[in-house]
């Protein structure tokens, strides 16, 4: 899998994505291809010009696509809300419990 000629660390000139393999995507950041984990079950998928990276199981500190700013998920232990901010998954809130309910993330106060 992956696009021919697209390698982590190689130079790039446009805002593009490619799948590196089933578990990671490559994003063109600051002129270099940067590897982003796609830890969710769907991994990284390419369909024509569209690249999908499943961030649903990404962890705090993982890189995430710059265009995913504000997308969130519950931490694995259910005690925090994680969001993609400036290209990195960060903890934005502590929770006593965190869950997906009717398409919304619900973080109960600690």
Domain that residue 65 falls in: 56-110
User: Both 29 and 40 in a single domain?
Assistant: yes
The predicted pLDDT at position 10 comes to 92
Using CB atoms within 10 Å of the CB of residue 52, give its burial: 0 to 12 exposed, 13 to 18 middle, 19+ buried.
middle
- 2 pLDDT exceeds 70? no
The predicted pLDDT at position 14 comes to 78
**pLDDT tens across 20-31, in order?**
999 999 999 999
The predicted pLDDT at position 66 comes to 87
User: Both 38 and 4 in a single domain?
Assistant: yes
In terms of pLDDT, which residue wins out, 97 or 14? 97
**pLDDT tens across 68-90, in order?**
898 999 999 999 999 999 999 99
* CA dist., res. 37 & res. 43, Å (int): 8
Reduced to 3 DSSP states, what percent helix, strand and coil does the chain have, rounded to the nearest 5?
5, 50, 50
We report the CATH number of the domain holding residue 30 as 2.30.130
User: Both 9 and 20 in a single domain?
Assistant: yes
* CA dist., res. 76 & res. 53, Å (int): 18
- 92 pLDDT exceeds 90? yes
User: Both 62 and 44 in a single domain?
Assistant: no
We report the CATH number of the domain holding residue 60 as 2.30.130.50
User: Both 50 and 60 in a single domain?
Assistant: no
User: Both 64 and 110 in a single domain?
Assistant: yes
User: Both 71 and 50 in a single domain?
Assistant: no
Mean pLDDT (the chain, rounded): 90
The predicted pLDDT at position 77 comes to 93
User: Both 81 and 105 in a single domain?
Assistant: yes
- 34 pLDDT exceeds 80? yes
CA angle, 35 then 41 then 45, to 5°: 55
User: Both 66 and 78 in a single domain?
Assistant: yes
- Domain tally for the chain? 2
């Amino acid at each position: 899998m992956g696009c021919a000629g697209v390698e982590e660390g190689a130079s790039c000139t446009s805002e593009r994505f490619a799948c590196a393999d089933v578990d990671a995507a490559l994003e063109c950041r600051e002129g270099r291809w940067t590897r982003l984990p796609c830890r969710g079950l769907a991994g990284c998928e390419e369909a024509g010009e569209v690249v999908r990276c499943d961030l649903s199981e990404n962890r705090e500190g993982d890189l995430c696509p710059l265009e995913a700013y504000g997308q969130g998920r519950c931490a694995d232990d259910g005690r925090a809300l994680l969001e993609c901010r400036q290209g990195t998954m960060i903890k934005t809130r502590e929770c006593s419990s965190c869950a997906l309910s009717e398409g919304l993330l619900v973080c109960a106060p600690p």
